[in-house]
Structure 1
């Protein structure tokens, strides 16, 4: 029986949201010893050494901050600044190092993307999130980015209170912390919040070939709707939804539930995929693509080719990096889905 994601209404407890804040499966086994710095890029070996040293500190039992530290919002002196911030392009190993740091640190600890963190705070509320996370030894935040003024103020307040409670931070991004938000809103209006965020971190630049310069993978030729439906019906635990039904349904769910929406699904199928021009719809699809990618779910796609999912104007705008990441991930999942297709499925692809 084919699953309809657009008919699912998952309920997610705060305990589940927190328990799922771990490195995704593709980074479950990475360690500092498996990181291979490029000998032509000395900043990679330097970052490895810095993170390894930080991990030695974070592996020790947590020291409660003194009253003076709490009043001043400072972490214990043995850690230096409360956060380490890895800046660099795609494909230079930032996430590998961040996940390795998480594996080495003592618990309780948390690993999430920036989007997952904002969704978590949105689901729990700021006060409850601070109460839950203040006891953590460290929080690792991948793909740190600020998309709007609300996120800027929310995360600034959250991290400020967590630092005051003695929580160590680690983050990755391809934007320096004092440049977060550029191109998306008038960052100057929120300079105080941005500067407060930047003050929490020691910045460590990691150089290397930028993944964006390699171009997107080739999008597979999309199928006709009936072919997608037939292929989904032949697979175990496959979902199949009309693209419009799915993105309308996503608008009615909190993004923190998108992972649970995929529970028990082994393949995702979408018919009549259309080019997007609405930023709100597009950003929800980005979150769903991330959750699919974390779970390595093959995609069967019908409609416009995936490399046409976002309009040209959107790919030039402030969310460009998000959209390019989503395209790369969706195309990879679609190529995986097509590779698993039977010969009979492939013979009827749309011309």
Structure 2
């Protein structure tokens, strides 16, 4: 993957954390991702490159997990299209004005808590779909809204309407503008015959609840939920199932030692990183951490406000997607968000971030051993 950046050439000259070099700083990076690259990169992230339905391990105590595998496998099998008169299979036969698949909605919606394997299943569906990679798309809800912002609504419709499948991870509506935008976009794509699949911690009819006056946009929200058949996936967070407690934060000196010892590591003060995130669009956070082998943070402290917290959630998602270990000093990750935040409308995002950062901190523990 090629990332165009105004500063990364300079970073490579001044040190990237290689052997004998000082660690790089994420705050020194100002990545730029061209709009056309946003489309090309709508594929499952590196963590989910190799996942398939048969690598998903259902919890025997949660039959909904095995059921989800069966339903999604059948859904993927139904995406093969029809054969034309010449006997050749028409994978991308267009079906104008079709708003539902035979016998039900034109999409599946995976609802469940953190760590039950929803993204694993969504990526498995993407891999199982018979289309070539340029005719199926996978991205987070934030990445989809960013794509519309970069290309414009009509161009996004034209770009995605030729696809067989659109997979949307972490589907959550945070403001009325997104509600109207995505409702309109998905309606257009369904009319073009695009199949939809999404994951979220919120049932389709509850999207936006607690974050804005969802009742004022009930028509759009109901329109969104009409596109999907909901599959509830129960279970515990697999990232912590039967595993020891996440490591306690380290001292600043230990974090700095790891950053200087591990090739490709970055080293940043947590407050400075939060300020930098406010100057980088969230659509570029993946590029921000591209090529980084470990993220080392000193002085981790509770985030000061909700806007900062939501930016941190996106960064945590991009680090988790790329399997980047985290080594940190300061407060534990479960103390990042205030009780008010954890009880508010974005609570599910914050709990997801805590879960993922805890898993990455566990991965980073091995780096402190020597």
Q: Classify 1:263/1:174 alpha carbon distance in 2 versus 1 (closer, same or farther; 3 Å).
A: closer
Say whether the 8 Å CA contact 1:88–1:206 is kept in structure 2.
yes
Q: Structure 2: which 5+ runs fail to align?
A: 1-21, 82-90
Deviation at 1:212, TM superposition (A): 10
- Tell me the number of residue pairs that the alignment of Structure 1 and Structure 2 aligns: 337
Q: Classify 1:235/1:197 alpha carbon distance in 2 versus 1 (closer, same or farther; 3 Å).
A: same
What's the secondary structure of 2:216's corresponding residue? helix
Deviation at 1:187, TM superposition (A): 0.8
**Match for residue 159 of structure 2 among 132, 150, 159:** 132
Q: Classify 1:55/1:11 alpha carbon distance in 2 versus 1 (closer, same or farther; 3 Å).
A: same
2:81 is aligned with 1:51 = no
202-211 vs 57-66, greater mean Cα deviation: 202-211
Aligned to 2:34: 13
Q: Give the TM-score taking structure 1 as reference length.
A: 0.87
Deviation at 1:156, TM superposition (A): 1.0
Deviation at 1:252, TM superposition (A): 1.1
What's the secondary structure of 1:115's corresponding residue? helix
Say whether the 8 Å CA contact 1:255–1:287 is kept in structure 2.
yes
Say whether the 8 Å CA contact 1:219–1:307 is kept in structure 2.
no
Q: Distance in 1 between matches of 2:215 and 2:340?
A: 24
What's the secondary structure of 1:204's corresponding residue? strand
Aligned to 2:87: none
Say whether the 8 Å CA contact 1:220–1:338 is kept in structure 2.
yes
2:99 is aligned with 1:74 = yes
Aligned to 1:100: 124
Q: Distance in 1 between matches of 2:103 and 2:144?
A: 23
Deviation at 1:296, TM superposition (A): 1.0
Q: Distance in 1 between matches of 2:108 and 2:52?
A: 17
2:324 is aligned with 1:297 = yes
Aligned to 1:154: 181
Aligned to 2:113: 89
Aligned to 1:29: 50
Aligned to 1:144: 171
Q: Classify 1:332/1:217 alpha carbon distance in 2 versus 1 (closer, same or farther; 3 Å).
A: farther
Q: Distance in 1 between matches of 2:172 and 2:234?
A: 19
Aligned to 2:347: 320
Say whether the 8 Å CA contact 1:10–1:257 is kept in structure 2.
yes
The Cα offsets for residues 74-102 of structure 1, whole Å up to 9 and x where unpaired, read as 25x55842211122333444333222211
Q: Distance in 1 between matches of 2:295 and 2:281?
A: 20
Q: Structure 1: which 5+ runs fail to align?
A: 344-351
Q: Classify 1:100/1:79 alpha carbon distance in 2 versus 1 (closer, same or farther; 3 Å).
A: farther
Deviation at 1:34, TM superposition (A): 3.2
329-338 vs 91-100, greater mean Cα deviation: 91-100
Deviation at 1:38, TM superposition (A): 4.6
Say whether the 8 Å CA contact 2:239–2:359 is kept in structure 1.
no
Q: Classify 1:31/1:222 alpha carbon distance in 2 versus 1 (closer, same or farther; 3 Å).
A: closer
Aligned to 2:221: 194
The Cα offsets for residues 287-340 of structure 1, whole Å up to 9 and x where unpaired, read as 111111111111121222222111121111111111111111112212222222
Q: Classify 1:10/1:217 alpha carbon distance in 2 versus 1 (closer, same or farther; 3 Å).
A: farther
Q: Give the CA RMSD over aligned residues.
A: 2.5
Say whether the 8 Å CA contact 2:42–2:137 is kept in structure 1.
yes
Say whether the 8 Å CA contact 1:54–1:79 is kept in structure 2.
no
Say whether the 8 Å CA contact 1:119–1:256 is kept in structure 2.
yes
Q: Give the TM-score taking structure 2 as reference length.
A: 0.83
